[in-house]
Amino acid sequence: MILKTKSFQNTQTPQAIAGQKQEQDVAFYLHRAFKDHPEVLVINDFRFAFNGETAQIDHLIIYPYGFVLIESKSIKGHVEVNQQGEWTRSHGSKWFGMPSPIKQVELQQALLKEMLRQHRSEIIGKLLGIKQQSFGMRCWDHVCAVSSDAVINRDTMPTAISELLVKTEFLVDKLEKIMNLKSKFMRIINVSDTRPDFNQQELNSIAKFLIERHIDPYQATTEITLPQTQQINEPVAHFEVNKAVEAKTPAIMQSATHSILSCKHCGESTNYTPMYGKFGYYIKCNQCTKNTPMKQACPHCQSAQTKITKAKEVYTLKCPNCDLLYHLTKSNETI
């Protein structure tokens, strides 16, 4: 189940555009694989603060046995890692050093683990009503998903790093191997698997705790699904970013100040007014006073068969080709 979609931002530099495209690709594969799986909960683009530190996790998976953190990395050309764990990448005929994405996600994992540990009594209950459960014995894994067109030199790469480095199209296979999910019946009868597991109510409680602590510094349009925790089989509550929800949870859901829309004439991406006319929905730029259609190609698959829908105050771009939704902006408001 996808609890939070990728937050789309207006990016300008080629590096930022490539990075966002890579995160979109990973989010797409996760959506296709786990959108209907009640025990695999996915939070894309999760940012949180704890003990004076802030961390941003590209993709976080919560499942019965623990957690998997995924760092998305756009890498064109060749990538090599020496025996000291130092990364280099090629650009044209030149080679450049780069920070280790593995070390980066390890730091994110450590902070997330500490935050959950500090709040364990609020999130998960006591074992047999006596001993407080914790997160230390759960499975904690992390991987780095790199662009599918990257060339990875695994011959000289440390085996431990090679195991954590996966191309995007093989990511779901890697995750299924890591999670090694079993049916509820098999968990009971399989005594050889000693991994402690969360029940559905605990999974929902963990997810709700994390979603409530998500920080969106860009106030980008997001779609968030919060699980209910009162009953194990209770259906989830689905929220869109609008004023009613914003008033209830201002820390995690805010009105959109940026979207994937921008004026095609002057590039203005924030100061415009949504309108409707003879040719459908469009935005009127308050900067240059010119109009731009809301309908555009899908940011993920570039399909032109998209449709614009309006529900109350929210405009949505829907792609029937890859089954993704992009919330655009609010109606009758100057953004």
226: tokens are 């919060």
Q: What is the dihedral of CA 69, 73, 79, 82, to 10 degrees?
A: -40
pLDDT > 90: percent of the chain: 41
**In a 10 Å sphere around its CB, with 0-12 CB exposed, 13-18 middle and 19+ buried, how is residue 269 labelled?**
buried
Please name the amino acid found at residue 143. V
pLDDT at 81: 95
pLDDT at 254: 29
CA 278 – CA 226 distance, rounded (Å): 38
User: How does pLDDT run across 21-50, given as a tens digit for each residue?
Assistant: 899 999 999 999 999 999 999 999 999 999
pLDDT at 243: 33
pLDDT at 232: 37
pLDDT > 70: percent of the chain: 79
pLDDT at 18: 81
User: How does pLDDT run across 69-84, given as a tens digit for each residue?
Assistant: 999 999 888 999 999 9
Pairing of strands 151-152, 78-81: parallel
pLDDT at 316: 84
User: How does pLDDT run across 74-122, given as a tens digit for each residue?
Assistant: 988 899 999 999 999 998 888 989 999 999 999 999 999 999 999 998 8
pLDDT at 275: 84
**Rounded to whole angstroms, what are the CA distances from 67 to 112, 114, 309?**
10, 13, 35
User: How does pLDDT run across 166-176, given as a tens digit for each residue?
Assistant: 999 999 999 99
pLDDT at 177: 96
Task: List the chain pLDDT tens, one digit each, 335 residues.
Answer: 999 987 766 656 777 788 888 999 999 999 999 999 999 999 999 999 999 898 999 999 999 999 999 999 998 889 999 999 999 999 888 898 999 999 999 999 999 999 999 999 889 876 656 667 889 889 999 999 999 888 999 999 999 999 999 999 999 999 999 999 987 777 677 777 888 889 899 999 999 999 999 987 654 445 666 665 444 344 444 433 333 333 333 332 222 333 567 778 877 777 788 888 877 888 888 878 888 888 888 776 667 788 888 876 778 888 877 667 777 765 444 44
pTM of the model: 0.66
Nearest to 1 by CA among 24, 22, 32, 47: 32
